[in-house]
Structure 1
Amino acid sequence: MNEILAFAAISLLLVISPGPNSVLILKTVASRGLRPGVENIFGLVSATFAHGAISILGLSAIILQSSEVYTIIKYLGAAYLVYLGVKTILATLSKSSVKDTGDELSPITAAPGNSYRNFGEGFLTQILNPKVSMFYLAAFPQFISVGSSSYYEAFLLVSLHASIIFLWFLALATMLSKWKVASIGENMQRWVQRFSGGLLIGFGSLVVRQDT
């Protein structure tokens, strides 16, 4: 029980730390609303289970030992974050142009987008982050006893981590959604989206700069 609580505490600290996942939820809720944000979260959770399965099967150790494969994954993740950031900023500029021409379109009334796209954004943001597998590789030996039940224990830890991700980001998305509707206007929403887009670009740049 103590090991589980310790793992939960470490996972919670990692989840609540500012990072691309938090910015993704901020960007999505600000531009599309709560439901697309929740679809992002399901993508994050699914990718977390995928990382867990890769780690349990031992494939992540092989990937991380290959500097070439690790570098490719890292740069793909960085490129995707930059892509999301640029797309977010460009979307706010196009909305401003539409408003200037008199057409009715705003962050509140705009279409929420395709559910598969929202899910995919969350999934790709998480699956292209090799640090998740690195976390499992470091944590599993510390919290799992060697034996026939080790796979079961590993799955429980991954499930616990995924549950923390779901609950934390659901609470964050709900809070952002209420704040968005109640407290800020359309112009401020666009600036929030631009800010989150800039953060995504910044995180992508940081990923490239790490270990270089």
Structure 2
Amino acid sequence: MSWAEIVTFALVAALLVMSPGPNGVLIAKTVPTSGRAAGFANVAGFVTAFYLHGALSILGLSVILVQSALAFTVVKLLGAAYLFWIGVKALKAAWQGGGRAQEVAPARRERTLRRAYVEGLLTNALNPKVSMFYLAAFPQFIAPGETPVLASFTLVVIHSLINALWFGAMVMLFDRLAKRLSGGGFQRWLKGVTGVIFVGFAARLASLRAV
């Protein structure tokens, strides 16, 4: 794999990572309510899921997932249901905030690190779009004669590093903002907005079709 191919893949992956999606919304929801460490636990969950999708793609299981209408639909609906559940929980928390929420700052450890990690993991592990991206990218950037497994995992590592850097920076940004916007009113507004967005992402994922 040449440096030109690596740079090209990195640019494509960076554009994908930086585009609006459930990962950024999860970070925006986690850090102000549960702290910076929980945000980094989200990111660790993202990265774990990418390696999982990469391994499945290399083993060929993702081909079955994409080509089998039933398997694709099951995974897609599970992912949509999970995003919908997160959205509804956020909307419920915003609705139950009440008037006193304007004066009371949220707990800094609402989420354990384990829970934040699992949220990040499931948000990506149940999203078949990640496998679809790898299946589309691997043949484009692996030259004939290269070791497919090594080259594929190289691409997964690059994608994971870009994710870690981008969302790690986002964690730091929201941590700084949270210290200035820590009032209950802002927290209630944030939960309401993220709840609506997650429900929207759930609907979008539910309508996704295999290509």
- With normalisation by structure 1, the TM-score equals 0.91
Task: Note the alpha carbon deviations across 1:67-91, whole angstroms, 9 max, x for none.
Answer: 0000010111100000001112222
1:122 counterpart = 2:120:
yes
Matched positions, count: 208
Task: Describe the SS at the equivalent of 1:147.
Answer: coil
Q: Which of 30, 33, 36 in structure 2 is aligned with 1:34?
A: 36
* Aligned pairs (5 A) from 1:136-155: 136-147=134-145, 149-155=147-153
* Aligned pairs (5 A) from 1:33-182: 33-96=35-98, 99=100, 106-107=105-106, 109-147=107-145, 149-182=147-180
Distance 2:145 2:118 in 1: 36
**Identity over aligned residues, as a percent?**
43
Distance 1:206 1:68 in 2: 18
Distance 2:132 2:34 in 1: 32
Is the contact made by 1:56 and 1:154 (CA closer than 8 Å) also made in structure 2?
yes
Unaligned runs of 5+ in 1: none
Mean alpha-carbon deviation: is it higher for 166-175 or for 88-97? 88-97
Is the contact made by 1:81 and 1:204 (CA closer than 8 Å) also made in structure 2?
yes
Structure 2 equivalent of residue 204 of structure 1 = 202
Is the contact made by 1:31 and 1:193 (CA closer than 8 Å) also made in structure 2?
no
The AA in structure 1 aligned to 2:124 is Q
Alpha-carbon deviation of 1:62? 1.3
Structure 2 equivalent of residue 15 of structure 1 = 17
Distance 1:210 1:156 in 2: 28
Task: Describe the SS at the equivalent of 1:142.
Answer: helix
Is the contact made by 1:32 and 1:110 (CA closer than 8 Å) also made in structure 2?
yes
Alpha-carbon deviation of 1:94? 3.8
Mean alpha-carbon deviation: is it higher for 50-59 or for 147-156? 147-156
Distance 1:65 1:92 in 2: 40
Alpha-carbon deviation of 1:111? 2.5
Alpha-carbon deviation of 1:33? 1.8
Unaligned runs of 5+ in 2: none
Mean alpha-carbon deviation: is it higher for 24-33 or for 196-205? 24-33
Alpha-carbon deviation of 1:183? 4.1
Distance 1:147 1:58 in 2: 19
Alpha-carbon deviation of 1:210? 3.2
The AA in structure 1 aligned to 2:12 is I
Task: Describe the SS at the equivalent of 1:111.
Answer: coil
Alpha-carbon deviation of 1:136? 0.6
Q: How well do the aligned residues superpose, as a CA RMSD in angstroms? A: 2.0
The AA in structure 2 aligned to 1:197 is G
Is the contact made by 2:31 and 2:174 (CA closer than 8 Å) also made in structure 1?
yes
Distance 1:114 1:163 in 2: 24
Structure 1 equivalent of residue 7 of structure 2 = 5
- With normalisation by structure 2, the TM-score equals 0.92
Distance 1:210 1:159 in 2: 26
Task: Note the alpha carbon deviations across 1:40-86, whole angstroms, 9 max, x for none.
Answer: 11000000000001011111111111000000101111000000011
